Structure 1
């Protein structure tokens, strides 16, 4: 009897697991035939998010040279390295280009085809263009994967869930807003992947309240402006007349920081320094567990600060009042944040050269404007200043902090579910839009198509409308008949609209307090509520408590997702090999 593996989700993560299966195929005993079943209604490789059938106006959020789906020597894993081209090498593009998602989808399809071609002759891949709705079966026996519209289940010796971003049932607030909208003839678009949202109810010229200022908002901005026939003439936006007027606000009230527009010359910061494997091991070994704010954040803060000041003191010493060796020695010894702040104030004369993470996180905290129009001009100045700084190598400590954020994320992935704040902070600081998108935002603001609504945005449904207020402009109120929640749904198993994931949870799979599926960090095996790993079920991706920092990996940065894929693939192959041996006996 041939061994059988079912991978549910054939997008980038499923393709990554398939590539690792091919790379480690020598671990299977000779003569072990294997059927790999990929279950996904979307094309294998790109999957849903990166499918080639979407608007050509939508871009990737990373430079082409910063995107790879292939391992390299920096990845610490048990399996063999199988190098391959980055996106810009494969497409023959300039490394600085921000390409359309269609191009990325084609790259992913090519990577999928290459992984399939690398499999041994006795391994066959079958793509099932439908949804998996349930996994059942005994812990020690073959699993049954039921498919929508198919009478017979797939039998599997192992199942790997690489489900990616999923739709979710609304939380109580969203459910209440949706019910109010239906009762009063309003438009409420809940959190969703923007490219899949039906935007036709947002009518030309009408005000639309948008809650969320991250990457989902950028997609919304593009689809409702250029996507409706508008165009840019330099820094001027020429409306088509079909655009709504977008009033956008959020907790911070500002867009994500621009991508950095220069390269870091010279030596990178020494990473990790204060939050590395040893510190992470110590956190995991604490008998009573750890608290993120009390135990983890001080290490993160010190690590980011060290990277920032290493770059400032070594690349821009004329802006410091102390030698690096002396500063570094005192910085390393200072565990009290107040002591470090005093050291920085004495050694770094210009406040613009100091790293203030609290101010970065909440730039509008305590800021008040006398009028809505004054706020529009003020926030445009803020965005313009951000663009200048993020494209000026004189502020290269910002790039060092970015590298430290990547290092920190690689360690925090090992800690499991640490709450939602960190992921939002990371995205806001390190995963913002390309500079040209923020220049478009400024043009839209000047044209009056986009209006800033402020920080700590409060939305109420009352008197037959949506009303929004913000302390940024005291006394100003936005009233609209349409509200868009510009963000992805939280990846919660209890409210997921994916029936397979919901059933898995209902039947005993463990979840974190934030609703993420608990898995063994060593190889991705799904844990039950007593902490036991399931011998035949694995899960990787954003619905788990070891989710990664982003969709793709920068070359030569260690790639924690690659390490996860490799560990899961090797565990699956070991399981399949032992199952084949038992069957032969």
Structure 2
């Protein structure tokens, strides 16, 4: 059997591992067959996002102990459990290893300093994945042959039931029986707003940087003391912040009071950033959950999920959001009480809270929680309360107090700190939310307006933020004058009269700043109508793929993602029929699946690992009679290594 894997990021590598594991432990007819596995990616193992040669200043936003590629006993899969080290365990093992001596000095330093709760560099994750790939190659059974192509697949030609993978650089197509597409984020064309901005930029000789991974952007045209407008205060903003400061030889130093100050190198531009909320994503609470501890739902339980799935119509705001609120609030208040009154009273509170959920205020007052300490969702969502500020300095004074409070809350931890423990629940219950909303589980209008436009960005803002160190750095940069935050409802526009970009906040007086540089600090949206992926566009043109649409009684929503079946994740063609030999999972299916960018965490029954095992077993065991003659060329283990 010949199998193609398109993409060698975390999902592609997981597919490869699951294929190897299932072949090794498979039924006799699997063990006796030979398998040629063709892997395609222009980049080494890890793919573009996690490549080893990117800036050492770009961090992951997950701690080292909570990153893995391997299965464990928590994974609900039919395939064999093959354990392997987490990223932290692997790093720790290298300290007495010859491999360590051959690593770049900055990677060696990272390993020396790494602890279970460190935030690794993205480049180091690339080293981890490369090592995992090489270990798989070393341990290949004799009936698996691997062909690694550093090339991009741009088309799939289907003849009868055979697939021919066409690549960018090769004149010869590769024939396979089955293919798995694990594409990750793809490049995109600009939407109409972006095209208008790009035209304005070209007409006036400005610099406009479209949505992209900051690691992929050449920032050399931005000179010292240039004023740079940055739209967005999410994770990409912190990447640009790092690249423009410590990436240009500046450094942060700790004062006696433990706060940071920034020592400029003189090569930095002046950054002016803003967003609708006017504040950055909440920083992550210091990890107190080890590698795999997570919140055990008490409202969004398996029974409740089944009740919701049995309904004719499910609306996110009406049916699911109240359960999420209860999960978050019960954690917040029980942690608050535990800190003040101990475990026994906190447990009593949880029991009472569950019983009196429709009259929760009385329960809170019964346990002597003052109204001023109630969890205020409006204040969390919009901490400035839409107040007006008379100057940027006044806003910065308010913002510094807010950011300092965020740092202090994070330092309390994601179990002991009431706020960060509560917000971490949002991260912990993503699987439960997926079980309800995936594959059109909620009505179309609710998915579009309540989930996609409202909750998904709120969830990111509250629970998918940067390490707390980044917030401390942000405070230092504001104080030294290299970073200006515009304020709430930040607006960015073009000005024909001046021929420049402008940024301002309508809630901050005299906040208007002009610049010849504008950066969109976000990743491109998932959209098959805007993607510049040649592979996806060719599949669409030939009707081999189609957009996933949620059709409800009174509404329809075009999700922008590719249509795919339930596991084993078959790609669906325009006639609604799933391919029996093309599989896809990951980012391009956003809309069928929710929050597809999440990584693999040990001990929590990772959705990614379940899906990759399901796909791999379908490839191997689905229709054995369709196996074709074995390719005679064998690649040696050493040649397949990178």
Query: Residues of 1 paired with 2:575 and 2:308: CA distance?
Result: 21
- The aligned counterpart of 2:147 is 126
Residues 519 and 546 of structure 1 are in contact (CA less than 8 Å); yes or no, is this contact kept in structure 2? no
TM-score by length of 1: 0.91
Query: Residues of 1 paired with 2:33 and 2:410: CA distance?
Result: 54
- The aligned counterpart of 1:494 is 529
Offset, 1:547: 4.9
- The aligned counterpart of 1:456 is 489
Query: Residues of 2 paired with 1:366 and 1:342: CA distance?
Result: 30
Stretches of structure 2 that go unaligned for 5 or more consecutive residues are 93-113, 255-259, 441-446, 550-557, 631-642
Offset, 1:264: 5.1
Deviates more, 1:289-298 or 1:90-99: 289-298
Q: Provide, for residues 211-239 of structure 1, a one-character-per-residue CA deviation record: whole Å limited to 9, x for no partner.
A: 11111111101111122222223222121
Residues 392 and 509 of structure 2 are in contact (CA less than 8 Å); yes or no, is this contact kept in structure 1? no
Map 1:261-276 to 2 at 5 A.
Answer: 261-263=286-288, 271-276=296-301
Residues 203 and 242 of structure 1 are in contact (CA less than 8 Å); yes or no, is this contact kept in structure 2? yes
* Counterpart check, 1:155 vs 2:175: yes
Aligned-partner SS, 2:486: strand
Offset, 1:447: 0.9
Aligned-partner SS, 2:432: helix
- The aligned counterpart of 2:5 is 7
Aligned-partner SS, 1:88: helix
- The aligned counterpart of 1:111 is 132
Offset, 1:60: 2.2
Residues 64 and 98 of structure 1 are in contact (CA less than 8 Å); yes or no, is this contact kept in structure 2? yes
Query: Residues of 2 paired with 1:345 and 1:172: CA distance?
Result: 52
- The aligned counterpart of 2:480 is 447
Residues 189 and 483 of structure 1 are in contact (CA less than 8 Å); yes or no, is this contact kept in structure 2? yes
Query: Residues of 2 paired with 1:78 and 1:565: CA distance?
Result: 11
Which of 112, 116, 121 does residue 95 from structure 1 map onto?
116
Residues 186 and 482 of structure 1 are in contact (CA less than 8 Å); yes or no, is this contact kept in structure 2? yes
Offset, 1:511: 2.3
Aligned-partner SS, 2:272: strand
Offset, 1:582: 11
* Change over 3 Å in CA distance of 1:373–1:553 after alignment to 2: same
Offset, 1:39: 0.9
Stretches of structure 1 that go unaligned for 5 or more consecutive residues are none
- The aligned counterpart of 1:466 is 501
Which of 428, 436, 448 does residue 469 from structure 2 map onto?
436
Residues 520 and 526 of structure 1 are in contact (CA less than 8 Å); yes or no, is this contact kept in structure 2? yes
* Change over 3 Å in CA distance of 1:90–1:341 after alignment to 2: same
Offset, 1:23: 1.6
Q: Provide, for residues 489-514 of structure 1, a one-character-per-residue CA deviation record: whole Å limited to 9, x for no partner.
A: 01212211111112223324232423
Aligned-partner SS, 1:259: coil
Query: Residues of 1 paired with 2:514 and 2:72: CA distance?
Result: 53
TM-score by length of 2: 0.83
- The aligned counterpart of 1:16 is 14
* Change over 3 Å in CA distance of 1:334–1:518 after alignment to 2: farther
Map 1:224-243 to 2 at 5 A.
Answer: 224-234=244-254, 235-243=260-268
CA RMSD of aligned residues (A): 2.6
Which of 320, 343, 356 does residue 296 from structure 1 map onto?
320
Q: Provide, for residues 350-397 of structure 1, a one-character-per-residue CA deviation record: whole Å limited to 9, x for no partner.
A: 457533333222222322211111111211111111001110259523
Aligned-partner SS, 1:459: strand
Map 1:76-475 to 2 at 5 A.
Answer: 76-92=76-92, 93-137=114-158, 141-234=161-254, 235-263=260-288, 271-287=296-312, 289-313=313-337, 315-318=338-341, 323-324=345-346, 327-333=349-355, 339-341=359-361, 343-344=363-364, 347=367, 349-350=369-370, 353-393=373-413, 395-414=416-435, 415-416=437-438, 418=447, 419-462=452-495, 463=497, 464-475=499-510
- The aligned counterpart of 2:62 is 62
Query: Residues of 2 paired with 1:250 and 1:163: CA distance?
Result: 29
- The aligned counterpart of 1:570 is 617
* Change over 3 Å in CA distance of 1:484–1:569 after alignment to 2: same
Aligned residues: 573
Query: Residues of 1 paired with 2:210 and 2:87: CA distance?
Result: 33
